[in-house]
Amino acid sequence: MATKTDFYIQEWLLLGSFPEKDPKKIIAEKQFAPKDIEPKAGSRTAGKVWQRYVSPNPVVDLLGPAIQSPIRTNCSAYAFTYLFSSRACTAKLLVGSDDGCAVWVNGECVYELDGQRQLVLDSDIVPIHLQQGKNRLLIKISQLAGDWGFSVRLLAPKGIEVIPTLEVPSAGLSVIRQPEISYLLDRGVVELWIPLYNSGPTSAENIVLHLGSRTRRLGEIKPGELRTVFFRFEAEELWNCLSNKGTWISSDSSPKRIQLTGLSSRVFLDVMTGGALPLDDGAKIPPLQVPQTMQEQPVLIRIDPALDVTRDPVWPQWPSVRFERAGETICADLAAPPGYKAIARVIYGGPRAEKMASKLLLYSESIDIESRTIDRIAQEGLAGLAAADFDRALEAAEKLLEAVEAKIPASRDIAHLVGHAHIDMNWLWRLPETIQCCQDTFRQVIAFLDEFPEFKFSQSQASTYHLIEEFDPGLYEKIKAAVASGRWEILGGMIDEGDTNLSSGEGIVRSLLLGQLYFREKFGKIARVGWLPDNFGHIASLPQLLQLSGMEFFYFHRCSPFKGLFWWEAPGGMRVLAYSNDTYNEVVDPSICTEADRFNKKYRRTMVVYGVGDHGGGPTRRDIQNALLYTEAKNYPQIKFSTAEEFFRAALADGADYPVHKGEMQYVFEGCYTTVSEIKRLNRACENALFGAELLASLVSQSNPIEARRILGPAWQTVTFNQFHDILCGSAIHESHRDAIVEYASALATAERLRTASLRRLADSIITDGPGQPVVVFNPLPQNRTDLVEAEVFSHISPPHIQLPSWGDFDARGVTAADASVKLTDHQGRTVPCQVVGGKLFPNGYRVRVLFGASDVPACGYRTYYCSVLEHGPESQNIVVKGTKIETDLLSLTVDPRTGRITKLYDKRLKRNILKRSGGNALRVYMERPHPMSAWNIGPISTVYELDQAERVTIIEKGPVRAGIEVEYRFNRSKLIQRIYLCAGMPRVDFELEAHWFEQGDATTDAPMLRVEFPLMLNKGNFVCDTPFCVVERPRDGREVPAQKWVDLSNGQWGAALLSDSKYGYSCTKSVLRMTLLRSSYDPDRYPDQGLHHFRYALLPHEGDWRFGVMKEGLGFNLPLLGIETASRKDGQSPVGSFLLLEPENVFLSAVKPPEQGDGLIVRFWEAEGKTTTARLRFARPVRSAIRVDLLEDPLANVAQPGVNGNTVTVETQPHEVVSLKLKF
């Protein structure tokens, strides 16, 4: 073996954990002085004990058994090792960490990185200076939340040896690390490396290695010198040497022998367990030299993964070959799989020896090689090998195995092995490959179910089953049979593993509804375990939604407050038993022995979610064979091939005294809240349009709800599929995003067509015999409402005072007019201010877009107006424009003509300025440094560019309803056009942003990220966010957080809300509200947001806190009043009417829809303020019956049933409760 110059350090002394006031500032607080620290295992520093830990792979998991501390968030830990170098040199450390880290070498800080990030191997290159001999390496690793760990790889210059060790050598000559032994199977020789270090003041002379009766001279080692001495022996020669006396090193300068304890044991174990011949990726096994002792013995040759590099589980089959008897050489046609390093093992002696070797390998960590008993047995075995008596050697190996097992207490742990295949929908591939991935995975699973009667499998995502049903019916029938047998478990209950931060509450409900109903229809059962292993955070209301859809358990991986079992409780009290571990792609290997210590110390029961994942794959043959082997090992847990539900049921039987977590579980991958803006916009647009389409189709008597269910069902399938966590979150490839955008657009068109058709049917049923063109305005909210509405009115004659562009002028926007007002009256003849805001001349006439304020439009109802675009309307009384200042009856706003920012916003109701003088609606570009996983993570910020030099500031509208200012900016290749509007009678400022965005980052170039910011005149306040079915408060610490339609900052007396029609990423620093608009990530989609974007947002000042109307305004901003022109008619319904009123104001509508089966109506609402409430629903027609149902639309037992009185339904509603009703009329 060559001198080691490139290796991961996997053996450490660990200390911690320590609570941190600010884990983002890792150097700010030191628990001790790093300069003089020289710990050893068991010693104390800062009140804690240094623990020795050997990681099974390069990543040291600090949430595992490494750190035995209950402090797992907002904390830090330390890792230490000595590095002995053969010469002074400059080396490199390649460091990865989750979260921040700092590095000290010989007491000097050489690197620090603050903040939060995901661990990526070798992500940071840290040059270090090593002195000859002993060096001290100390690392501090910070933790905010989620995963926690680090990795360190050392690169030394060629020819310089560096050896990590945890022990300080004794004075004089010493062996600083256990000798390394390598049995070269292809040459029949054994190589031995012994690292010697002389810490004494004089040279160590006449050094002699004693191997039994033989000796070898090593020469001289100078003071401070590190030298690894190397020997090569014929295998039989070494066996003979070690079968006699002990082994030691002597030197004239040292009166004591340096004992090499355990050398005989290690050599014998190495032989009897098959050796370890390294193979590079794709390399074939060379011809093997067979020692005389093993000739004529049956032999097994197998290839195993090189687990010292990484625990890579991707091989579905482990290559092996058998020979009835070995000759002098063996030629086996075996090779390591391409792309993977491996080791070859050669085990002689047939099944008896193979079983013995496998068990010895299982016990490798438990064998005390320095034990005299073990060493004596090993010498017996080596004597048999030296005498060409293999049976004697095999008997000694079995005797050694008995001695080892006698010392090992039987494990009381129970490991439930849940085979699973995590399949990402269209992540780094498109749908055809997803289908193939499902087919390949499930065919292999069916084969394993046939081959191994103990084996069980669990699979989530209804979409994976539906794809197989459609494209591989034969395989689908086999899956149905496996589910019926109880050996294939259906999981998750959702269409796919959809993101819950960005999906609306109703979007999540539909995924659960459609997924569970598919399982029930096709398999006769529903999922009982919620399953979101790879999601990027979990909303507070999810336990309630899981319970209401038939699931009382939940498995996940990211953002866990606890590892192992705990109760997760939603606001309102509903809870599920949850389990979180380190990975959803586990390998069945010896690491399962430590899982009880990490995840369930009290009851010792764990769930091992194993199988190759992301691109499917599932359990491997090696996983299953290992599991069967472990059933015979004393120091291994009791192995149960299990379903996830079986694990949770057994855990409940153990006891219920698990810890409790209340509320959401966040945050990770904050960049995903914004990446790929068009996906986000279409998702919100689809959810809003589907809500309106179902509402109208269900309530308007002329519509056909059953037909609506048929039309909208596929649209909901599309939306819920595309809410998969890598699609909606923007972390897929460019091609997958393009596919999703097309599918979203199709679903949106379907919903909008049905919504428009229902709206026309409504308009056609109303008396509309007033003067002018009738316009019916519909309110999709279940409360009376005053708001703006935009409608299109047709005229054969050109409005005389307004100039409209031609229909071929695609870039035209707005109108040209000195006075854009037109005449509008309500159904009672009262004049309503109205202005033209757009339109075009078409060959058959003029399409004119008008804007007006519709007052007191009934709840889920309508009001009729009449418009004449050929007549002037009244002059504006409530809007005054002077320069770049706009004043209405409620607000006064001033825009700086140089910067384009709002320098003053005064609220006349609150009698106060809302914004600080630094300027509101400030656009800033944050430059993200190159970093891995740029779609997921917001990188370190290198520079912030202020967009405060406007290209132009122009008044674009000045009418009786609205006045507007347009501001244009340039940044690099991009153009940004902001439009700022104040409207008469409206308490908010509306913004439109037209972004021509052509920015791009890459692995070497900073990536621009665009944000808008509002510094409020608030010194103190609470930052609250709209999340699915729950309003949550979060710190004002500047961290990017997910929210739905609004966020709010208020102090109880007054505040301001930031509303959005399509954005999800927000932050708040002290008094600054901030929204992220666009990013320029490049991994894996290189061009996520190139092109033209349109989005709307608004700033809403208000009294009190968010409870003073913010939720209603946020919903209204996303569900505007709908205006539609219709023909004049003298008979029909009243010109004003309401279909559904929902009271009081703390309950909000989520859906009005046809039931999935049968007739009637499903109405869903939720309580937002945490108050016990009597909800009242008043319909336009008498209600015959009403019952409470769950999210699957099945009757709910053990709940108070609604009261029905004529057309009114009353429901006792608990705090934060999501209520679903099934009504018949």
Domain contains 910: yes
CA distances from 649 to 345, 528, 607, 653 (A): 41, 11, 12, 6
Three-class secondary structure of residue 245 per DSSP: coil
Token representation of residue 621: 């043959």
Domain contains 317: yes
Task: Over range 511-524, report the average pLDDT.
Answer: 98
Compute the distance between CA of residue 1158 and CA of residue 517 in angstroms, rounded to an integer: 14
Q: What is the pLDDT of residues 247-267, one digit of tens each?
A: 888 887 766 778 777 888 888
Domain contains 420: yes
pLDDT of residue 955: 95
Query: Where are any strands of DSSP class E within 324-394?
Result: 329-330, 342-348
Tell me: cis bond preceding 667? Omega within 30 of 0 counts: yes
pLDDT of residue 314: 47
Q: Which domain CATH number covers 1019?
A: 2.70.98.30
Please, which pLDDT band fits residue 191 given cuts at 50, 70 and 90? confident
Nearest Cα to Cα of residue 684 among 695, 674, 669, 696: 674
Q: Are 778 and 859 in contact (CB under 8 A)?
A: no
Q: Are residues 191 and 160 in the same domain?
A: no
Q: Are residues 452 and 515 in the same domain?
A: yes
Compute the distance between CA of residue 884 and CA of residue 834 in angstroms, rounded to an integer: 22
pLDDT of residue 109: 92
Angle ∠(950,951,955) on CA atoms, nearest 5: 80
* Number of domains the chain is built from: 6
Q: Which domain CATH number covers 477?
A: 3.20.110.10
Say if residue 310's pLDDT is above 50: no
Residue 626 or residue 689, greater confidence: 689
CA distances from 888 to 315, 910, 965, 980, 1120 (A): 69, 14, 14, 14, 21
Q: Are residues 1074 and 1148 in the same domain?
A: no
Q: Are residues 429 and 539 in the same domain?
A: yes
Question: Which of 65-69, 371-375, 785-789, 1092-1096 shows the lowest per-residue confidence on average (mean pLDDT)?
Answer: 65-69
Compute the distance between CA of residue 571 and CA of residue 407 in angstroms, rounded to an integer: 50
CA distances from 520 to 547, 556, 721, 1036, 1100 (A): 16, 23, 19, 45, 45
Q: Are residues 640 and 728 in the same domain?
A: no
Question: Which of 135-149, 201-215, 278-292 shows the lowest per-residue confidence on average (mean pLDDT)?
Answer: 201-215
- Of 133, 165, 197, the one marking the end of a domain is 165
Domain contains 854: no
pLDDT of residue 803: 81
The H or E element containing residue 444 is helix 431-451
Domain contains 326: yes
- Of 605, 640, 668, the one marking the end of a domain is 668
Three-class secondary structure of residue 368 per DSSP: coil
Compute the distance between CA of residue 746 and CA of residue 758 in angstroms, rounded to an integer: 19
pLDDT of residue 1105: 97
Question: Which of 315-319, 377-381, 855-859, 1017-1021 shows the lowest per-residue confidence on average (mean pLDDT)?
Answer: 315-319
> What is the phi-psi region of residue 595: left when phi exceeds 0, alpha when psi lies from -120 to 50, beta otherwise?
alpha
Q: Are residues 201 and 158 in the same domain?
A: no
- Of 143, 165, 187, the one marking the end of a domain is 165
Q: What is the mean pLDDT of the chain?
A: 91
Please, which pLDDT band fits residue 808 given cuts at 50, 70 and 90? confident
Q: Which domain CATH number covers 723?
A: 1.20.1270.50
Please, which pLDDT band fits residue 313 given cuts at 50, 70 and 90? very low
Please, which pLDDT band fits residue 703 given cuts at 50, 70 and 90? low
Q: What is the pLDDT of residues 812-853, one digit of tens each?
A: 666 765 568 999 999 999 999 999 999 888 888 899 999 999
Q: Are residues 491 and 611 in the same domain?
A: yes
Domain contains 704: yes
**Residue 339: DSSP 8-state:** T
Q: Are 490 and 676 in contact (CB under 8 A)?
A: no
Question: Which of 527-531, 618-622, 1105-1109, 1162-1166 shows the lowest per-residue confidence on average (mean pLDDT)?
Answer: 618-622
Say if residue 28's pLDDT is above 70: no
Q: Are 187 and 134 in contact (CB under 8 A)?
A: no
Q: Are residues 629 and 684 in the same domain?
A: no
Compute the distance between CA of residue 969 and CA of residue 987 in angstroms, rounded to an integer: 27
Q: Which domain CATH number covers 382?
A: 2.60.40.10
Q: Are residues 60 and 148 in the same domain?
A: yes
Task: Over range 668-694, report the average pLDDT.
Answer: 97
Q: Are 289 and 383 in contact (CB under 8 A)?
A: no
Please, which pLDDT band fits residue 230 given cuts at 50, 70 and 90? confident
Q: Are residues 312 and 340 in the same domain?
A: yes
Tell me phi and psi for residue 68, to 5 degrees.
-90, 80
Q: What is the pLDDT of residues 868-892, one digit of tens each?
A: 999 999 887 789 999 999 999 999 9
Compute the distance between CA of residue 294 and CA of residue 154 in angstroms, rounded to an integer: 40
| Domain encompassing residue 80 | 6-165
Query: Where are any strands of DSSP class E within 1065-1106?
Result: 1065-1069, 1072-1078, 1091-1103
Partners of 16 in the β-ladder: 77
Q: Are residues 373 and 459 in the same domain?
A: no
Q: Which domain CATH number covers 83?
A: 2.60.120.380
Domain contains 796: no
Q: What is the pLDDT of residues 540-551, one digit of tens each?
A: 999 999 999 999
- What burial letters (b/e) apply to 1165-1186, b meaning 16+ CB within 10 Å? bbbbeeeebebbbbbbeebeeb
Say if residue 27's pLDDT is above 80: no
Q: Are residues 267 and 378 in the same domain?
A: yes
pLDDT of residue 3: 52
Nearest Cα to Cα of residue 122 among 146, 150, 101: 150
Say if residue 145's pLDDT is above 80: no
Domain contains 757: yes
Task: Over range 952-957, report the average pLDDT.
Answer: 95
pLDDT of residue 817: 58
Q: Which domain CATH number covers 1172?
A: 2.60.40.2220
Nearest Cα to Cα of residue 790 among 854, 694, 730: 854
**Residue 732: DSSP 8-state:** S
Residue carrying structure tokens 């309003």: 1031
